[in-house]
Chain A
Amino acid sequence: MTTFEALAEAQDELDAIVIDVLGSVLDEEAAPAYTELPDGPMAWARLAIHDAADDSFTVAEVRVGIALARVLAGRMMYVADPGDEDVLDAVAELGNICAGNVKSLVCQDARLSLPTAGIGSGLESLSGAAVRVRAVVLGHLVELAVTPGASIEGLDWPPTAVDEELETQR
């Protein structure tokens, strides 16, 4: 079974991940949605999962309309008027939590990148066939797209230190 097939079969679990994560960070009820994201400014976060078993990469991307992203940042950080830095931090963490749960769902011997986040309009979809799930919360849509084989350009990875290197920090 390919990663895409495994993800397609796990669509209900992907729905549950998005709903659980939104419910937790916003303290609001979220529900699955089946409509397209509207046009307009978005905040997005992207991470990659490297599967050591077959040396493949899968990219998880979360997209949120800018209005909801500001609500998200405000609630996560207790600020009435979050700035762009706050929005990027909050959306990056939303993406990180979703991607970490996707990683646990589809592959065990894998490594997660650090999140990259941005704000803008007209963000192009990643190349490759994606499994997409959407949820509605506070009247706004959130999308999680998981794309096996998508480009990992621009993503950063956490350091890997071997035990001998840690010795030098003692």
Chain B
Amino acid sequence: MKILVVDDSKAMRMIVVRTLRQAGFNGHDVVEAENGKEGLEKTRELKPDLVLSDWNMPEMTGIEFLKALRGSGDSTPFCFVTSEGSEEMRAMASAAGALGLIAKPFTDDAFRDTLGSVVTS
């Protein structure tokens, strides 16, 4: 599988990649983007099997990224990994077509529980 990790923090992108491995999701190609705009471009160019995206980013936020993807008919599985895990944001994510929202700080279990249906071990 090809997994696109989108976050404006390099440190957090590295933690997400590490947590994917710790959750047992090994051997996947991981590509990275620094904001929603770059994420949108890389999704169109590289056709990932899964997008893991932060919400709060410069240039284009995660929710705008997801809405632009879905608006263009792209149904790539999309999950938020964000510091804001309120019920309102979870509802907004779901309504926009996200498969879930993993709130930071997170655990390996949160990755397994949320992504287990779309990522192979």
Contacts and interface: CB of A to CB of B under 8 A. Distances in A.
B76 interface: no
B59 interface: yes
A166 B105 contact: no
Interface string B67-94: 1100110000000001111111000000
B109 interface: no
Kindly name the residue among A24, A97, A99 whose own CB sees the greatest number of chain B CB atoms within 10 A.
Answer: A97
Contact of B68 (A21, A24, A170): A170
Interface of B: 8-12, 14-15, 40, 56-61, 64, 67-68, 71-72, 82-88, 103-107
B9 A170 contact: no
Interface stretch (A32-40, A126-134, A136-144, A153-161): A153-161
Interface of A: 20-21, 23-25, 73, 76-78, 86, 89-90, 92-93, 96-101, 103-104, 108-109, 112, 114, 156, 158-161, 163, 166-167, 169-170
A112 B56 contact: yes
Contacts of B106: 24
Contact of A77 (B14, B82, B86): B14
A104 B8 CA distance: 21
A23 B14 CA distance: 17
B10 A77 contact: yes
Contacts of B59: 159
Contacts, number: 93
10 contacts: A20-B105, A24-B106, A100-B82, A100-B104, A104-B86, A108-B87, A114-B56, A158-B58, A161-B64, A166-B64
A99 B11 contact: no
B71 A100 contact: no
Kindly name the residue among B10, B57, B84, B104 whose own CB sees the greatest number of chain A CB atoms within 10 A.
Answer: B84
B105 A97 contact: yes
B106 to A, nearest CB: 7
Contacts of A104: 84-86, 103
A69 B9 CA distance: 15
B84 A100 contact: yes
A23 B9 contact: no
Contacts of A92: 9
The 7 tightest CB contacts between A and B, nearest first, are A100-B83, A24-B105, A76-B11, A93-B9, A100-B84, A104-B86, A170-B72
Given A100-B83, A158-B58, A89 B105 contact: no
A161 B10 CA distance: 24
Given A25-B105, A99-B83, A104-B86, A93 B12 contact: yes
A109 B88 contact: yes
